[in-house]
Amino acid sequence: MENQKSRTYVGKGVKAGQFDLVNISICIDDAEPHFFEYNGKRYVKLTVGGLRETDQYGKTHSVWVNEYKPEGKTEPQPQKQQVNQPQSDLPF
């Protein structure tokens, strides 16, 4: 498991009512150094985890930068689209 001390916390959240939703707020200034570009768009990977206890402001979740990088794994390449392949009417 990832060492908790190495996490970059960028926000907090609160569970929304009785639903399986969490509303979060992110500090862009803290998250921006972790942005990366893919296909001309900017992204940041985040993880949301529940707090053991609700904090003094009623927050129930914490948000941190997900810096996990699997070893030896490369980014998936877009698949080439097949052109005019005959379709079979077989069910398998």
pLDDT per residue as tens digits for the range 14-60: 988 888 899 999 999 999 999 999 999 999 999 999 999 999 999 99
Is the CB of residue 18 less than 8 Å from the CB of residue 26?
no
| Residue 58 structure tokens | 């009623």
d(CA 88, CA 40): 37
What would the pLDDT profile of 72-87 be if each residue is shown by its tens digit? 765 555 555 555 555 5
